[in-house]
Amino acid sequence: MQQVGIGFLGAGIVGSALLKRLLEEAEAISAKTGLDLTVRRVAVRSLDKSRDVAIPDTIITDEPMAVVNDPDVQIVVEVMGGLEPAGDLVLSALRAGKAVITANKELMAARGRELIGAAEESGVSLLFEAAVGGGIPIIRPLSESLAGERITSIMGIVNGTTNFILTKMVEDGADFSEALAEAQGLGYAEADPAADVGGGDAAAKAAILASLAFGVWVAGDRVYREGIEALDVRDIGFAADLGYVPKLLAIAEDSEEGVAVRVHPALVPSDHPLAAVRGATNAIFIEGPAIGQLLFTGPGAGGAPTATAVLGDVINAARELAAGTQVTPRIRFNPGRIREFGDVSTKWYLRLEVADQPGVLAAIASTFGAFGVSIKSVWQEGRGDAATLLLITHEACERDLATAADAIRVLEDVKEIGAVLRVQSDEP
């Protein structure tokens, strides 16, 4: 039986869940894989913190370089999160000839190209299945099974916390902060949940998916992002009446004009498959001319499912070590153009608070028309001084919609534009 030493950088929610598996299910894992995966060292931030798993005194340390430098550690599992010190520790481990498994989307989105280069130079594996989609196998299918497909678009729900919050708000009328607290309690949220709620976590994942799918390096900070903080419960109600559900979508497209990657809330028709994705579940559509459409769905957050993804990578790296062929990653990044966000087109939902006077709708429609934005449908709620207009437009690019909205905002009888939301629908 091949013995492989594993070192941990971090033992938080995912790390503890994986340690538990490796320490408590060692026999079952060996029986299935023919590998003896032995945890040699675990670096934690605080030695005194109570955890779900008992880490033996002989292997716990608060000195992360002790893991990287341990000659008995062949695979380093980085589950500490954040850019630093995780980035430099991963780089040191790769340079020291260790295979690295990381669940760190923030790090891979920021420094993935450099780290993949370092892994290739050292001839070791750098695997990161758990960085996107929690327990859903998506990195390996994208970079291996679909390596020959010319992928044109990816669209999905890649943040479990926000999907959990939105589900609670839509289905139970829950308050935003209560739903967030519940998601934190269930171990879905990031250490700083602003990364979930503000779209940063989903943007990092979208950058990783786009880079792998299109073979063009898209750094996380090139991804346009908007979070769900500004979503008004009134619009959730109006959207439901119009047959839509709000979702935080990650969208990556590759076209003649270049690659466009973005994360923002969007209304999806209630009969769209993504509308049925509830709670912390993630779902990722991939499209290509030969493959058509693929849908990957499953638990997108939480310790146990994410630990399964990390464990799969550990087993894969251990098998490669046993075979003496560390061949991953197999990714080449080519030059490519990132599209200006202003050029990207979508349909739009707008809520306008207006005075109910003759000519108001005509002024709004002609202002939209002047900027090339065509209105598809209009509804009115209320009468008199305080009418609410709901509009759905045909496709219009970000720049045109923003300019039209600025012009409408200053019309005399428009009190405010209460909401502007993108609509992701195939309807004409």
178 membership: H or E segment, kind and range: helix 176-185
The type of residue at 224 is: Y
User: What residues numbered 233-272 form the site for ligand HSE, per CB under 6 A?
Assistant: none
Provide the minimum distance between the beta carbon of 424 and ligand HSE in the complex, in angstroms, as a whole number.
Answer: 19
Residue 161 touching ligand HSE (CB under 6 A): yes
Residue 308 half-sphere exposure toward CB, CA atoms < 13 A:
13
Q: CB-wise, 250 or 419, nearer to ligand HSE?
A: 250
Question: Are 30 and 65 within 8 A, CB to CB?
Answer: no
Residue 16 touching ligand HSE (CB under 6 A): no
Residue 400 touching ligand HSE (CB under 6 A): no
Provide the minimum distance between the beta carbon of 108 and ligand HSE in the complex, in angstroms, as a whole number.
Answer: 11
Rounded Cα distance between 150 and 214, Å, is 8
- Number of residues this chain uses to bind ligand HSE (CB under 6 A): 11
Site string (119-148) toward ligand HSE, x via CB under 6 A: ---------------x--------------
Provide the minimum distance between the beta carbon of 300 and ligand HSE in the complex, in angstroms, as a whole number.
Answer: 5
Site string (198-217) toward ligand HSE, x via CB under 6 A: ---x----------------
User: What residues numbered 289-328 form the site for ligand HSE, per CB under 6 A?
Assistant: 300-301
Residue 196 touching ligand HSE (CB under 6 A): yes
Residue 190 touching ligand HSE (CB under 6 A): yes
What residues contact residue 344 under an 8 Å CB cut-off, 6+ apart?
260, 262, 397, 398
**Quick one: which of 377, 394, 387 has its CA closest to 418?**
387
Provide the minimum distance between the beta carbon of 134 and ligand HSE in the complex, in angstroms, as a whole number.
Answer: 5
What phi and psi values does residue 39 have, to the nearest 5 degrees? -80, 115
Q: CB-wise, 40 or 105, nearer to ligand HSE?
A: 105
Rounded Cα distance between 427 and 395, Å, is 11
Candidates 55, 75, 189, 390; binder of ligand HSE (CB under 6 A) is: 189
Q: CB-wise, 37 or 310, nearer to ligand HSE?
A: 310
Question: Are 86 and 80 within 8 A, CB to CB?
Answer: yes
Rounded Cα distance between 99 and 423, Å, is 43
Instruction: Note the helical H segments in 186-294.
Output: 194-197, 200-214, 233-242
Residue 109 touching ligand HSE (CB under 6 A): no
Q: How does DSSP classify residue 221?
A: G
Per CB under 6 A, the segment of 52-60, 108-116, 189-197, 378-386 that binds ligand HSE is 189-197
The dihedral sign for the CA sequence 333, 334, 339, 340: positive
Of the residues 98, 105, 168, 205, which is catalytic?
A: 205
Per CB under 6 A, the segment of 187-195, 284-292, 350-358, 413-421 that binds ligand HSE is 187-195
Q: CB-wise, 204 or 404, nearer to ligand HSE?
A: 204
Question: Are 252 and 261 within 8 A, CB to CB?
Answer: yes
Residue indicated by tokens 């976590």: 201
User: What residues numbered 273-292 form the site for ligand HSE, per CB under 6 A?
Assistant: none
User: What residues numbered 322-361 form the site for ligand HSE, per CB under 6 A?
Assistant: none
Q: CB-wise, 138 or 189, nearer to ligand HSE?
A: 189
**Quick one: which of 321, 206, 305 has its CA closest to 259?**
206
9 token code pair: 């950088």
Rounded Cα distance between 5 and 306, Å, is 21
Provide the minimum distance between the beta carbon of 301 and ligand HSE in the complex, in angstroms, as a whole number.
Answer: 4
53 token code pair: 């798993």
**Quick one: which of 110, 44, 51 has its CA closest to 82?**
110
Per CB under 6 A, the segment of 39-47, 185-193, 235-243, 346-354 that binds ligand HSE is 185-193
Instruction: Tell me whether strands 35-43 and 153-157 are parallel, antiparallel or unpaired.
Output: unpaired
Per CB under 6 A, the segment of 113-121, 158-166, 248-256, 356-364 that binds ligand HSE is 158-166
The yes-or-no answer on residue 205 being catalytic is yes
Q: CB-wise, 5 or 299, nearer to ligand HSE?
A: 299
Q: CB-wise, 59 or 110, nearer to ligand HSE?
A: 110
Per CB under 6 A, the segment of 93-101, 120-128, 154-162, 325-333 that binds ligand HSE is 154-162
What phi and psi values does residue 376 have, to the nearest 5 degrees? -95, -50
Rounded Cα distance between 364 and 41, Å, is 65
Q: How does DSSP classify residue 342?
A: G
Query: Which of the residues are catalytic?
Result: 205
Binding site for ligand HSE (CB under 6 A): 134, 159-161, 188-190, 196, 201, 300-301
